[in-house]
Amino acid sequence: MKDKELESNLKALANRRRLSILRFVKKSKEASVGDIASEIHLSLKSTSRHLSVLFSAGLLEREQRSLQVFYKLDPVIAEPIRRVVSTL
């Protein structure tokens, strides 16, 4: 894992809302933006921003089905980050 990629991943993890999102998605296996927003008690807009950060860092995968977007953990998360996520 390159330093720049590790830095991006760690910055994405350095936020309590994003940690809550990862914990919920990990537990649920897959969740819609609405379900995630409801779970972490945040607006759809703010939740979407956090999801975008996690997606850009390569921690989540997303799939659009009709009007809903669903997120799940990316199966190819680098080992150091995988260890952090496994503790959630």
Residue of 3 and 14 predicted with greater confidence: 14
Dump strand ranges (E) for 1-88: 31-32, 60-65, 68-73
pLDDT band at 1 (very low <50, low <70, confident <90, very high): low
The answer as to whether 20 is a domain residue is: yes
pLDDT band at 14 (very low <50, low <70, confident <90, very high): very high
Which residue range is the domain that position 33 belongs to?
3-83
The answer as to whether 88 is a domain residue is: no
> What is the total count of domains within the chain?
1
Q: List pLDDT tens digits, range 27-84.
A: 999 999 999 999 999 999 999 999 999 999 999 999 999 999 999 999 888 777 888 8
The answer as to whether 70 is a domain residue is: yes
The answer as to whether 23 is a domain residue is: yes
Q: What share of the chain is helix, strand, coil (3-state, %, to 5)?
A: 60, 15, 25
pTM for the whole structure: 0.89
- CATH number (domain holding residue 49): 1.10.10.10
Q: Return the pLDDT at 70.
A: 97
